[in-house]
Chains A and B, each alone.
Chain A
Amino acid sequence: MDKPYNARLVGIEHYWTVIKATAGQPFTVSEIAAQTQAHVDSVGDYVRRLVRGGYVAAHGWVEVASEWRPTVPQRARTYRLVKRAAAAPSLRRDGSPGLYGLGRQQMWNILRGSQATPGIDATNLQLLASTDVVPISLAAAKDYLKTLHYAGYLAVLQPAANHRLTVYRLVRRMNTGPLAPLVSRTRGLVIDRNRGEVVSPVTIEDVP
Chain B
Amino acid sequence: MTVGDGSGGHSVAPLKNVAALMTLVVTLRDRPAGLPGIGVGSGPSGFGKSVAAQYAQNKAGCTYIEARSYWSAKTFCENLLIELGARPRGTISRMMDDIIDTMGDRPDRPLIIDEADKLVDKKQIELVRDIYETTQAPIVLIGEEELPTKLASFERVHNRVLDWVLFQPCDAEDTRHLARAVLRDQVSVADDLIEAIRIKTNGRARRIATTLHAVLNYANNAGLRSIDLATYKGPIVSGETPRRAGKAG
Summarize A's interface: helix, strand, loop or mixed: loop
Question: Which residues of A lie under 8 Å from residue B11 when comparing CB positions?
Answer: 127, 130-132, 135
Distance in angstroms between the alpha carbons of A9 and B148 in the assembled complex: 45
Question: Which residues of A lie under 8 Å from residue B10 when comparing CB positions?
Answer: 126-127, 130, 135-136, 138
- CB contact between A178 and one of B58, B83, B114 (< 8 Å): that residue: B83
**B220 near A162 (CB under 8 angstroms)?**
yes
- Does B8 reach chain A (CB closer than 8 Å)? yes
Distance in angstroms between the alpha carbons of A129 and B54 in the assembled complex: 8
Distance in angstroms between the alpha carbons of A138 and B83 in the assembled complex: 27
- Does A207 reach chain B (CB closer than 8 Å)? no
- Does A83 reach chain B (CB closer than 8 Å)? yes
Question: Which residues of B lie under 8 Å from residue A179 when comparing CB positions?
Answer: 85
**A129 near B58 (CB under 8 angstroms)?**
yes
Residues from 119 to 160 in B contacting A, C-beta threshold 8 Å:
none
Distance in angstroms between the alpha carbons of A115 and B51 in the assembled complex: 7
Closest residue of chain B to A126, judged by CB?
Answer: B10
Distance in angstroms between the alpha carbons of A126 and B182 in the assembled complex: 11
Question: Which residues of A lie under 8 Å from residue B59 when comparing CB positions?
Answer: 131-133
**B7 near A114 (CB under 8 angstroms)?**
no
**A86 near B85 (CB under 8 angstroms)?**
yes
Closest residue of chain A to B84, judged by CB?
Answer: A86
Distance in angstroms between the alpha carbons of A137 and B10 in the assembled complex: 9
**A127 near B66 (CB under 8 angstroms)?**
no
Residues from 135 to 182 in A contacting B, C-beta threshold 8 Å:
135-138, 162-163, 177-179
Summarize B's interface: helix, strand, loop or mixed: helix
**B50 near A84 (CB under 8 angstroms)?**
no
Question: Which residues of A lie under 8 Å from residue B181 when comparing CB positions?
Answer: 127
Question: Which residues of B lie under 8 Å from residue A127 when comparing CB positions?
Answer: 10-12, 181-182
Could you say which of A37-45, A63-71, A105-113 contacts chain B?
Answer: A105-113
A126-B7 in contact given A85-B106, A110-B54, A178-B82 (Cβ < 8 Å)? yes
**Count the A residues whose beta carbon is within 8 Å of the partner chain — how many?**
31
- CB contact between A131 and one of B13, B84, B114 (< 8 Å): that residue: B13
**A131 near B106 (CB under 8 angstroms)?**
no
**A84 near B58 (CB under 8 angstroms)?**
no
- Does B102 reach chain A (CB closer than 8 Å)? yes
Distance in angstroms between the alpha carbons of A94 and B139 in the assembled complex: 30
- Does A30 reach chain B (CB closer than 8 Å)? no
Of B8, B85, B86, most A-chain CB atoms within 10 Å: B85
Question: Which residues of A lie under 8 Å from residue B57 when comparing CB positions?
Answer: 109
**A128 near B85 (CB under 8 angstroms)?**
no
Distance in angstroms from A194 CB to nearest chain B CB is 8
Distance in angstroms from A104 CB to nearest chain B CB is 11
**A115 near B85 (CB under 8 angstroms)?**
no
- Does B167 reach chain A (CB closer than 8 Å)? no
Distance in angstroms between the alpha carbons of A177 and B64 in the assembled complex: 12
**B106 near A115 (CB under 8 angstroms)?**
no
Residues from 40 to 99 in A contacting B, C-beta threshold 8 Å:
83-87
Question: Which residues of B lie under 8 Å from residue A105 when comparing CB positions?
Answer: 58
Closest residue of chain A to B187, judged by CB?
Answer: A163
Residues of B participating in the A interface, judged by any CB pair closer than 8 Å = 7-8, 10-13, 50-51, 54-55, 57-59, 63-64, 66, 82-86, 102, 105-106, 114, 181-182, 184, 186, 216-217, 220
6 sample A-B contacts, Cβ–Cβ < 8 Å, listed by A number: A83-B106, A123-B182, A132-B11, A177-B85, A178-B63, A178-B82
Q: List 12 additional A-B contacts (Cβ < 8 Å) besides A114-B50, A131-B59, A177-B82.
A: A105-B58, A109-B54, A113-B66, A127-B10, A128-B54, A129-B58, A131-B13, A131-B55, A131-B58, A135-B10, A136-B7, A179-B85
